[in-house]
Amino acid sequence: MEARKKLGFGLMRLPLKNPEDDSSIDLEQMKQMVDTFLERGFTYFDTAWMYCGGRSEEFVGKALVARHPRDSFTLTTKLPAYLLKKEEDREQVFREQLRRTGAGYFDYYWLHDVNSHSIRTFDRLDGWDFIRQKKAQGLVRHIGFSFHDGPELLDRVLTEHPDMEYVQLQLNYLDWDSLGVQSRACYEVATRHGKPVIVMEPVKGGTLARVPEELGRLFKAREPELSVPSWAIRFAATLENVMVVLSGMSNMEQVLDNTSYMQDFRPLDAEEIEMMRRAADILNRNIVIPCTGCSYCTVNCPKRIPIPKYFSLYNADLQECKEKGWTPQGSYYSNLTLRFGKASDCIRCGQCESMCPQHLPIRAYLKDVAEHFE
């Protein structure tokens, strides 16, 4: 496995000028964060076509590629199935990604979000052979895929495409033994096939950074100086077959925190790993909708419903003490409905569920949100 520091910069959740607009990236703050990340010896950056309202690749070009030598960093982006209708689309998307980033080539290039639905498109239009061609042409150094599905499909994909070099998996201590995500089982399949793993969602979209007080006390008792999210990232990085753990960083504070404990990374010991199992048990009692906030579901929503924001408010409201009375989440919800569709505006078209990497029953959850807040 390639030797490197195990922390990667996930470019899905960047600093924003307007928190209500995922595409309003704060370029100057992003430049400072990129520079600090590199200065501290980290080199891996991960983007994708749809991140940050479709502008992440463009801003990677401005903040990273245009300002640093090309051999001083590694860059990953991905080919999305939802843009592919015919074979010619593969090349058009790839060329546009090169134009957006200005990178000249990609160090890693994945088929994006391989699952039971998207694999039909990748198989029909042979996305597998397309990325092989790009590697042969020298426009891509390494090929693989990001994956959101079960271990059975992962085993089939790696058996049918043994030349895929890497697998990007959702992996965190909450999903490790989850019956839905099955992080452990998928990790074990990738390891059995000899494929190093790049970890996404180690903090589960911020869920593992904002934990119940009971869990916060557990972590602080063990290591008072370490932040809560550090435990989630270190859990993933402790796994031997993990090459890089991606962390979506949206401000300088997160960059400084993540790089501080990952510069001289210390794996968790057996007692700490057992503590993470107990942490998962505590969290599972509190989280109702396991949304990671990736926003794939909002890409084509005809009613412009900010689904992840509503789910986050719903989860937070249900964790409030019943004795508290008034809670702020209802006000935040009302404010959002002035600019976006309400949860009750859902027309049940289902496009959100076809895009969801977590395979959540979004339409049913939206009904719950509407009943709760409206």
- Around Cβ 322, how many Cβ atoms within 10 Å? 5
C-alpha to C-alpha distance for 283 and 279, rounded to whole angstroms = 6
- pLDDT confidence of residue 1: 40
The conformation of residue 146, written as its DSSP 8-state character, comes to: E
- pLDDT confidence of residue 321: 53
Confidence of residue 319 (pLDDT cuts 50, 70, 90): low
DSSP count for the chain of H helices, then E strands: 16, 8
C-alpha to C-alpha distance for 372 and 374, rounded to whole angstroms = 6
Contact 108, 142 (CB under 8 A): yes
Is 50 exceeded by the pLDDT of residue 3?
A: no
Which has the closest alpha carbon to 243: 282, 183, 200? 200
Contact 167, 147 (CB under 8 A): yes
- Give tens-digit pLDDT for 305-317: 999 989 988 886 8
Confidence of residue 335 (pLDDT cuts 50, 70, 90): confident
Tokens 């899905």 found at: 12
Is 60 exceeded by the pLDDT of residue 37?
A: yes
Helix (H) or strand (E) holding 248: strand 242-248
Side-chain half-sphere exposure of 250, counting CA atoms within 13 A: 16
* pTM for this entry: 0.82
Confidence of residue 103 (pLDDT cuts 50, 70, 90): very high
Sign of the Cα pseudo-torsion (265, 269, 271, 277, in order): positive
- Give tens-digit pLDDT for 245-278: 999 999 999 999 999 999 999 999 999 999 999 9
Confidence of residue 191 (pLDDT cuts 50, 70, 90): very high
Lowest mean pLDDT among 38-47, 132-141, 237-246, 351-360: 351-360
